[in-house]
Amino acid sequence: MATLLSAAGVPADRYLFLGFIPRKGKERSRLLTRASAEEWSVVFFEAPPRLLSLLEDLIPLAGPGRTAVVGRELTKMHEEIRSGTLGELADYYSAVPARGELTIVLQGTGEPAPEPDRTEDAVEQATSMLAEGLSRREVVQRLTQSLGLPRNEAYKLVMELP
């Protein structure tokens, strides 16, 4: 992994290591969505028969022009490092089947991911707590603790609820 990060030509001072991700399902979708929005480079391990599907799944999320690097058999006799865009790599590996131990680095966006909008979750929690009979003051306090909302924001949200 460190070998490919140092040779990849993408920022590698910080990175997210995901290793082998699930083959399918919600967790795979969640991890690929996170990887495509990640500020830092993301490192995956993948089995040769699944490399093409990984690249193809990343294209709609990260875009076909995002830089990625595929390393094969790193530090071994048949070492190979192939760099390009996700689209270029998907085209290459659809024609030339992958072999050996694979490590993939997806270049990060270079920008922090946007903060998630917690308003919807906060409204839901506040409504539920008010229905349980908690005071508005107590609801504000709990929202600041559980969601990390600034006190003024939590207060405004709670006071606007019916």
Digit-coded pLDDT (tens) for 50-84: 999 999 999 999 999 999 999 999 889 999 999 99
Separation between Cα atoms, residue 4 and residue 158, nearest integer Å: 50
102 and 22, same domain (yes or no): yes
Please check whether residues 33 and 76 belong to one and the same domain.
Answer: yes
Beta strands 41-46 and 102-106 are antiparallel
pLDDT on residue 41:
94
The verdict on pTM exceeding 0.85 is no
User: Are 17 and 46 in a shared domain?
Assistant: yes
Q: Is 113 contained in some domain?
A: no
Both 127 and 88 in a single domain? Answer: no
Q: pLDDT band at 39, cuts 50/70/90?
A: very high
The answer to whether residue 112 sits within a structural domain is no
pLDDT at position 116 is 65
Q: What is the pLDDT of residues 6-21, one digit of tens each?
A: 788 888 888 999 999 9
Same domain, 30 and 99: yes
- Structurally, the chain folds into a number of domains equal to 2
DSSP summary character for residue 48: G
Domain that holds residue 134: 119-160
Q: Are residues 135 and 94 in the same domain?
A: no
Residue type at position 145: Q
At 3 the pLDDT is: 78
Residues 142 and 93 in one domain: no
